[in-house]
Amino acid sequence: MYPVINPATEQECAQVTLAGVTEADVAIERAHDAFARWREVAPGERATLLRGFASVIDGHIDELAELEVRGAGHTWSNARWEAGNVRDVLNYYSATPERLFGRQIPVPGGIDITFREPLGVVGVIVPWNFPMPIFGWGVAPALAAGNTVVVKPAELTPLTALRIGELALEAGLPDGVLTVIPGRGDVVGQRFVTHPLVRKVSFTGSTRVGKQVMAGCAHQLKRCTLELGGKSANIIFADADLHKAAATAPYAVFDNAGQDCCARSRILVEHSAYDEFLTLFERAVAGVRVADPASDTDSEMGPLISAVQRDRVQGYLDGVDVAFTGSAPQGDGFWVPPTVVLPVSTADRVWQEEVFGPVVSVLPFDDEDEAVAMANDSAYGLSGSIFTGDVGRALRVARGVESGNLSVNSHAAVRYWTPFGGYKQSGLGRELGPDAPDALTEEKNVFIATTKE
């Protein structure tokens, strides 16, 4: 049994039985058996089942949100959004089965057509930072494309995944089509990589483990999609609406206590606006409401997920110049206040590495070229924001920054209508958006001769 701990109070809130390799193998084989039937379900019927699943989720938004508030320390507004995101992503991809088009390609001597065939069993490995959305992004397009799915939630946060697995059955998804297998990463997650019946792994988590997953998949030439770390830049030019830039910057990095692969954890400010920005930013950071989300429904930032993560984050603050901090509750819980640091240079560890906590670094830049160079001086390239009043500059900088998802005068990064994924060591492949099902299918080409003998 594995105890799930409420990170805001350090109290146990549930016990979960972890699966081993034997249980994982049984679930994978059942998913493989179910695949033979699921791929034959008529497109319209599969669409109806996915819409029904979305509708059952919709009826359980508050219940799912409460599980995430207590089991992962998420704020109520985030947790409700996250449960709603699972519903929305299921609804979005419910349109897929009836639109999984192939092509007819002009060729001599006959007709050439392509088909999008499902892969088989898809394994989705989910991290602890956004247990519900990342579950939905992996599962919904995979099911829609005709695959069956096995999901391994993070040990720290299995509760919502397990409940959504039950809701899938309640919604009428056939047995074995979607199976949630709680277990250790190096046991169940690793089995997804090594089991030959798992034909693709969708992994979200650390770059370190992502590389292991990719290396393991290579042995079977197994497909994989990797959504990994980030160190995203929030670039603020002097001609921007500085009040808006400063007011929104805390939420772009401290949301989910900074445990967000898209966190804008490096703020780059044009020299001439640097002092004014810092003054406005300090006020905005002081205004972030940090409290136990279970007892304060207006809390804007909760605790870190675990003592390990808190200690890891605090390790980044040793010997660093802290400019100012926000507040955090005292006593039990894995708390770190919103913290703003001023690195000495871009070589500093806190500027280069993914902290995955409520810590943001600020540095000035002189001109547009330097801003782009500083943003790109990173192993990562997942997300980022550009604040400027000049539309031409906004587009030049957006084209120049090596990152998969950028926003101008906004921090909106992840939208289920649009592709999401990273450059460089932030990942491989894209999730979400209209093309996600393509990455969960094989393209098959069939030629039919029409020439007379």
Interaction between residue 154 and ligand NDP (CB under 6 A)? yes
Report the C-alpha gap between 362 and 279 in whole angstroms.
Answer: 12
**Catalytic residue IDs:** 227
Output the DSSP codes for 32-100. HHHHHHHTTS-HHHHHHHHHHHHHHHHTTHHHHHHHHHHHH---HHHHHHHHHHHHHHHHHHTTSGGG-
Interaction between residue 352 and ligand NDP (CB under 6 A)? no
Interaction between residue 190 and ligand NDP (CB under 6 A)? yes
> 50 vs 156, which CB is nearer to ligand NDP?
156
Beta strand 233-236 pairing with 266-270: parallel
Q: Minimal distance in Å, beta carbon 315 to ligand NDP?
A: 11
Dihedral Cα 229, 4, 164, 29, nearest 10 deg: 80
> 124 vs 273, which CB is nearer to ligand NDP?
124
Q: Minimal distance in Å, beta carbon 308 to ligand NDP?
A: 8
Q: Minimal distance in Å, beta carbon 176 to ligand NDP?
A: 22
At which residue do the structure tokens 């599980």 appear? 67
- Site pattern 300..329 for ligand NDP (x: CB under 6 A): ------------x-----------------
Output the DSSP codes for 276-327. HHHHHHHHHHHT--B--TTT-TT-SB---S-HHHHHHHHHTTTT--EEEE--
Interaction between residue 265 and ligand NDP (CB under 6 A)? no
Q: Which residues contact 392 (CB under 8 A, 6 or more apart)?
A: none
Interaction between residue 126 and ligand NDP (CB under 6 A)? yes
- Site pattern 366..405 for ligand NDP (x: CB under 6 A): ----------------------------------------
**Site residue total, ligand NDP (CB under 6 A):** 26
Report the C-alpha gap between 375 and 423 in whole angstroms.
Answer: 13
Amino acid, single-letter form, for residue 49: L
Give the number of residues written for the chain. 453
Interaction between residue 189 and ligand NDP (CB under 6 A)? yes
Can you tell me which of 138, 165, 205, 333 binds ligand NDP, judged by CB under 6 A?
205
Q: With contacts defined by CB under 6 A, name the span among 138-146, 151-159, 263-271, 293-301 that binds ligand NDP.
A: 151-159
Q: With contacts defined by CB under 6 A, name the span among 143-151, 209-217, 383-391, 437-445 that binds ligand NDP.
A: 209-217
Q: Minimal distance in Å, beta carbon 227 to ligand NDP?
A: 6
Please tell me what DSSP assigns to residue 303: -
Residue 446 DSSP SS3: strand
Can you tell me which of 50, 65, 213, 401 binds ligand NDP, judged by CB under 6 A?
213
Interaction between residue 229 and ligand NDP (CB under 6 A)? yes
Q: Which residues bind ligand NDP (CB under 6 A)?
A: 125-129, 152, 154-155, 184-186, 189-190, 204-206, 209, 212-213, 227-229, 261, 312, 354, 356
